[in-house]
Amino acid sequence: MLGGDVVLHEAAFNAEIHIALQAFPHRSCSDFSLGTHPATSLLKAGFNRKMAMRQLRLVVVGQMFECPVWYKIKLLKIAALKMLPAKKSRHIKSWVLIKRCSEQEAEEFVNDEKTWSRNYTRDSEEGQKRFYRCNKVKSKGPQCDCALYLLFVNDCEDVLIFKTTSEHNHDQIGTRSDYGISENVKREINKLFDLRLKPKAILEALNKIEGIKVPSKRQLNNYLYDRRREKYGRATIYLGELEKWIFDRTTIPDDENEVFVFSYYVLEDKVPTFRLALSTKKLLNIVCSTDVLHIDATYKLIWQGFPVLVLGTTDKNRKFHPLCLGISTNERQEDFQMIFGGLKEKALSLFDHILEPRVLVCDAAQAIINAFIEVFGNAPVVRMCWAHAKKNMQQKVQKTVHKTKQKEIIQDIDTLHNATSYEVFNAASQAFVEKWQTQTEFVNYFQEEWLKKHPNWFLGAAPCSPVTNNAFNRNIKDHNTLRERFPLSHFLAIATEMVGQWSIQSCKESLPEEPTIELKDWTDGYCWAKKDLKIKILSSNTAYTEYLIPSSQVGDVNYGEQWLNFDDYKRKHFAFWKVKVPKNGTENVNWKKGSCTCPQFYKKYICKHLLGLAIRLKLATPPLEAKALPIGQKRKRGRPTKSRPALIIQ
């Protein structure tokens, strides 16, 4: 603590005030006068210097807010001077020569005493003086009166050892064992730390143990910091170390769940560059069985300011599977190229598979798309995340469209999203633009952003791929294990563990090729199958039959009727669905591989039409529970009508 008197440089301060008044003649003396009050009273109130300065800065800035910055700084400096504690009236140490010897002997002498720690060095006319302090007390805080210095005499090779005349008084100050955390308390803390308790909980637990000195919160935090560093590696890692880490993990392991580096790049330069990607054999094998890749370009995961990339896929149940993790110093094309290139190379060398992904689900960062083209040769269908697109469009509508029209325009965007092919989307979006052309600001934005730049937000953009990146975000954001501030070695350890977990948790066999049909789907399909509908066969070949079925909103629309404007599109485009059912001619025919043009099918890869048609055609049998009438639907009086046979008109 800084007790003692405060030297007040009144004269210096007054001189500055004088200059200030000349520079700012319209101001009065009191504008600049801090008085001696703030600094002294703060110190007397027990503030330490740093706290007092902070308080004072507030006062100064408050008073001087109209002064130029340089002047404020100057005043602060003066204020700091004013606050300098009086030179400690410590009694001047008197030194006596205790030994004259060689340099080596002197160092041995100092070491043998086991009392001395190097403190500071001063040059003097006789030679350099190296001071030692008594290390029975902490280096910060009051010191023991006993001290030592070595004088490296200028004009000969001798060393003179001087010691203070005062004896050790460190016992009065308090010895080392009194402060810090004692060994038995450390053992308790370690136990609690291994239980992954947070500092607060550790303190609470320690308070309950009798007969120990509970450390302060700061002591505990400092100790835990060291503990963590010990456990997870050093705080900094050098490029060479990283390279070694990578190098130790580049051989392809036998264990299919063992994590290895499948692609990397390290460049020692003015600005060091590195990128690496982790995966396992099992996860890479899954990459081979999919043609939909998800990659995150919005960097939900950041480590030390570097983007952490996660690449994965979704299966037919729309479940996300993370497949590899990359970390790089940049987010340029080369960084994504490293991942794609590594995947392609490993798919070929490990599984003899030529990787040709078709769909990329991302938030449409151009660098990712370019990297994809560079590696795979052809442009992917870049699926624009619908959740992301819709959110942006909604915000724009709220800003630019009159309140009375907002609801309708958003509904129209939804309908546009349901377009199931490029042709339909192109035509419908033109009709949409025509319909809303009076909303100039929104329409311009819409055309630029959502027709030109990122058009693939409609259902038909990439059949059999997820409409949103939500599964991805859900999965990765829930992983709270990767923290932004981990030291590199710790980060690498955690990342490796994480990828290993993905591998173990990923499905035992290959990804499901068809969706799992849930009871709700069966019920919907069964109910639909019972409806009295006119179903027509549109076409048929050796592989499948295509049926035309009217939707619930068919009304008086005839199949194939042209639509003329957007509202007409809304009415007619959704009046009929086309369902393709694979032919029963061949063995193992799987009706689940069929398709439908309704929005539901595009979203879930299964719909009541395909399911219902399969039931009608006796290709599928719904479970008994699905046949139960939904609650709330009243039975008609009288004998229930027999279910009508499938009415299919040729």
**Quick check: 596 binds Zn ion (CB under 5 A)?**
yes
**Quick check: 598 binds Zn ion (CB under 5 A)?**
yes
Interface segment toward Zn ion; rule CB under 5 A; list 139-147, 370-378, 441-449, 568-576: 139-147
Closer by beta carbon to Zn ion, 418 or else 429 = 418
Closer by beta carbon to Zn ion, 10 or else 178 = 178
CB of 421 to Zn ion, least distance (A): 15
CB of 648 to Zn ion, least distance (A): 17
Q: For tokens 């520079």, what's the residue?
A: 23
Phi, psi of 150 (to 5 degrees): -105, 130
Listed residue (74, 37, 69, 29) closest to 56, CA to CA = 37
Given a contact cutoff of 8 angstroms between Cβ atoms, the answer to whether 590 and 316 are in contact is: no
Query: Which residue of 134, 375, 499, 614 would you call a contact of Zn ion, by CB under 5 A?
Result: 134
CB of 170 to Zn ion, least distance (A): 4
**Quick check: 601 binds Zn ion (CB under 5 A)?**
yes
CB of 455 to Zn ion, least distance (A): 24
**Quick check: 547 binds Zn ion (CB under 5 A)?**
no
394 by DSSP, 3-state: which? helix
CB of 233 to Zn ion, least distance (A): 37
How many residues bind Zn ion (CB under 5 A)? The answer is 12
Interface segment toward Zn ion; rule CB under 5 A; list 380-388, 432-440, 551-559, 606-614: 606-614
Closer by beta carbon to Zn ion, 382 or else 596 = 596
CA distances from 270 to 237, 267, 273, 338 (A): 16, 9, 9, 21
**Quick check: 138 binds Zn ion (CB under 5 A)?**
no
Q: Which helix (H) or strand (E) holds 89?
A: none
Closer by beta carbon to Zn ion, 146 or else 327 = 146
Listed residue (34, 41, 50, 33) closest to 6, CA to CA = 41
Closer by beta carbon to Zn ion, 346 or else 592 = 592
Strands (E), 31-136: 95-101, 116-123, 127-134
Q: Which residues pair with residue 590 across a beta bridge?
A: none
Interface segment toward Zn ion; rule CB under 5 A; list 135-143, 365-373, 453-461, 622-630: 135-143
Query: Which residue of 130, 346, 490, 609 would you call a contact of Zn ion, by CB under 5 A?
Result: 609
Q: Rounded to whole angstroms, how far apart are CA atoms 465 and 359?
A: 7
**Quick check: 144 binds Zn ion (CB under 5 A)?**
yes
**Quick check: 607 binds Zn ion (CB under 5 A)?**
yes
Listed residue (270, 267, 268, 250) closest to 259, CA to CA = 250
Listed residue (338, 303, 240, 222) closest to 493, CA to CA = 303
**Quick check: 323 binds Zn ion (CB under 5 A)?**
no
Listed residue (495, 4, 508) closest to 233, CA to CA = 495
In sequence order, which residues have a C-beta less than 8 Å from that of residue 5 and are 6 or more positions away?
A: 85, 86
Amino acid code (one letter) for 247: F
Q: Under rule CB under 5 A, which residues in 562-581 are in contact with Zn ion?
A: 577
Closer by beta carbon to Zn ion, 134 or else 359 = 134
Own/partner pairs for 427-434, CB < 8 Å, 24+ apart? 427/569, 428/566, 428/569, 428/573, 431/563, 431/565, 431/566, 431/568, 431/569, 432/566, 434/565, 434/566
Closer by beta carbon to Zn ion, 321 or else 609 = 609
Interface segment toward Zn ion; rule CB under 5 A; list 134-142, 207-215, 299-307, 634-642: 134-142
Which x/- pattern over 391-410 shows residues binding Zn ion (rule: CB under 5 A)?
--------------------
Closer by beta carbon to Zn ion, 144 or else 311 = 144
CB of 146 to Zn ion, least distance (A): 5
Q: Rounded to whole angstroms, how far apart are CA atoms 313 and 308?
A: 17
**Quick check: 170 binds Zn ion (CB under 5 A)?**
yes
Tell me whether residue 327 is exposed, middle or buried, using C-beta atoms within 10 angstroms of its C-beta: 0 to 12, 13 to 18, 19 or more: buried
Closer by beta carbon to Zn ion, 144 or else 327 = 144
Closer by beta carbon to Zn ion, 120 or else 238 = 120
**Quick check: 259 binds Zn ion (CB under 5 A)?**
no
Query: Which residue of 60, 64, 67, 146 would you call a contact of Zn ion, by CB under 5 A?
Result: 146
CA distances from 632 to 276, 542, 608, 628 (A): 58, 43, 20, 12
**Quick check: 168 binds Zn ion (CB under 5 A)?**
yes
CB of 203 to Zn ion, least distance (A): 32
Q: Rounded to whole angstroms, how far apart are CA atoms 190 and 192?
A: 5
Closer by beta carbon to Zn ion, 390 or else 603 = 603
CB of 602 to Zn ion, least distance (A): 9
Closer by beta carbon to Zn ion, 283 or else 575 = 575
Given a contact cutoff of 8 angstroms between Cβ atoms, the answer to whether 523 and 612 are in contact is: no
Residues in the chain: 650
Cα atoms found within 13 Å of the Cα of residue 500, Cβ hemisphere only: 11
Interface segment toward Zn ion; rule CB under 5 A; list 345-353, 400-408, 605-613, 639-647: 605-613
CB of 546 to Zn ion, least distance (A): 13
Q: Rounded to whole angstroms, how far apart are CA atoms 182 and 206?
A: 13
Q: Site residues (CB under 5 A) for Zn ion?
A: 134, 136, 144, 146, 168, 170, 577, 596, 598, 601, 607, 609
